[in-house]
Structure 1
């Protein structure tokens, strides 16, 4: 048996940049992988919260992430999201590497968003970003957005004013003008990114400008959402995969339950965006906002874990 390679959070930061991680995911989709056929997440209730089991197999690798969601952890000074990722050889299922699962999630989720932003957000000017959230995903999304777009300003909106000011201060160290703000700052935003634990809408969707892009990644539960029905109803909607979104994306399932939209309201998928099979080109960009809803999928973890393993072993 080969020695199990351990890849921790600091190693991930050294091995893959946000832009490189987005490229890894894009390469998988351009090679023809179909996320609709990927295994869906299994959620198991446990006393401390929830265990999420996410297996996948493709090409040279197989793997599984076991992630824990422990809502009581922050009060104990512990992370809300925990977990580990076991990477296996795809041919014989020998264990190859054990990765920090929470750090892997913090790397791949912003990279997925960055792929959508590459296609959906304007690229002819620096963008005004409104970022909801002050946790690890918010920091990761700030860096990932900066990897694909120039920012004129970043406005951080969070329940914790200290956390919002801290993230704004970090943005300024990256040469981005930044400040803490409120939900009303979505007025005039070019890009709104939501990465929170909220279970109800964060802002008035009617205030989102036509032509703006909204990305929401915080929820994977059918009854939880970060955006309201008014916004989703008027937006051009993209998802990672229809199968996953129609099972887990409360941002879409709640408006569907209300009768405001149907399944055909989904305009396309991440694969459509990456491969140019979408409605972005040749249409009036000023008429509708664009919405990318992410729930997180196991194939993404596998693709990034495999790239990290290759990089750690000195491969390409």
Structure 2
């Protein structure tokens, strides 16, 4: 059995390969039981958790396990630790133990970018990105790999992190204009794509400000009683998700509008793996939303890709 490190994951991957692996992998049959997230503390203010995500296809079986301790940030530790165990599908032989934290960064960004490739307007130019955490650089790089983005507006509570991210992006993508902005009506109304990767518990922008044709990408929230966008955004949009089971169990962006009576579960048009079968064609004026909470199949596909590339 091979042990594959964080450094090996990062050095082996690029987004063209990641998005291609996800696109092709989602088209094939796979076992995708619901993921299980276990709270480790009964106190409402404590979100420490442990999760297990199994999946399999005709080549491999994968089990991702991760711990989430948000208070670690105040102790100089990572808030999330993760490993992915990969087994041969035919005989069950253990193949590899792969760093899951790094795989999560790549697959999360890759899934959002694949959704954008299906759902955003092909002529999208302006990306508004909420967040400045570990995912930010990956998310932005993934999105600009599938659309000819020429302007990115960064919006974040942590101004120091936002400025550092701005410097990194400016030096890496010299053909794109980057700026730090605020979530006012002018900024939101000018966005072709809005991507949110935050820990926010309340909506980040006013859904009435969205222009026709905008695509909204939501990946930061995993709580039933929290959300990164308002009911207006969800109810006026064509809604897609990574996993219906997981979203309807965890995502306040969808659960709260359902509880309010604004939408029903049928408002979800399709999962990401189903979009290619629908031959979905967006109308120019359509507002689209993609909500992702994470699913084991995407972890499997990128862990499998890393295993092939490293070995």
- Indicate whether the TM-score tops 0.5: yes
Listed as ranges, the matches of 1:248-287 within 5 Å are 248-273=250-275, 275=276, 277-281=278-282, 283=283, 285-286=284-285
On the 8 A contact 2:10/2:102 being kept in 1, the answer is no
**2:140 counterpart of 1:132:** no
On the 8 A contact 1:155/1:168 being kept in 2, the answer is no
TM-score for the superposition, normalised by structure 1 = 0.91
SS at structure 2 position matched to 1:183: coil
RMSD: 1.6
Distance apart, 1:241 and its partner CA: 2.8
On the 8 A contact 1:267/1:278 being kept in 2, the answer is no
Which residue matches 1:177? 177
Which of 247, 250, 263 is matched with 2:249 structurally? 247
Distance apart, 1:278 and its partner CA: 4.7
Cα displacement string for residues 87-109 of structure 1 (whole angstroms, at most 9, x for unaligned residues) = 11222322211111111110101
Partners of 2:280 and 2:53 in 1: CA distance: 31
SS at structure 2 position matched to 1:54: strand
Partners of 2:139 and 2:293 in 1: CA distance: 15
On the 8 A contact 1:156/1:165 being kept in 2, the answer is no
Which consecutive aligned stretches of 4+ in structure 1 deviate over 6 angstroms post-superposition? none
Distance apart, 1:150 and its partner CA: 1.7
Cα displacement string for residues 177-227 of structure 1 (whole angstroms, at most 9, x for unaligned residues) = 111111122221000000111121111111111110000011222222111
TM-score for the superposition, normalised by structure 2 = 0.92
SS at structure 2 position matched to 1:146: helix
**2:15 counterpart of 1:18:** yes
Number of equivalent positions: 302
Listed as ranges, the matches of 1:1-316 within 5 Å are 4-31=1-28, 33=29, 38-47=32-41, 49-124=48-123, 127-173=125-171, 174-175=173-174, 176-184=176-184, 185-273=187-275, 275=276, 277-281=278-282, 283=283, 285-286=284-285, 288-313=286-311
Distance apart, 1:29 and its partner CA: 2.1
Partners of 1:170 and 1:76 in 2: CA distance: 25
Partners of 1:140 and 1:127 in 2: CA distance: 18
Cα displacement string for residues 238-264 of structure 1 (whole angstroms, at most 9, x for unaligned residues) = 111322222222110110011110111
Distance apart, 1:166 and its partner CA: 1.5
On the 8 A contact 1:65/1:101 being kept in 2, the answer is yes
On the 8 A contact 1:171/1:177 being kept in 2, the answer is no
Partners of 2:84 and 2:251 in 1: CA distance: 23
SS at structure 2 position matched to 1:67: strand
Partners of 2:189 and 2:165 in 1: CA distance: 21
Which runs of no fewer than 5 residues in structure 1 stay unpaired? none
SS at structure 1 position matched to 2:278: coil
Which runs of no fewer than 5 residues in structure 2 stay unpaired? 42-46
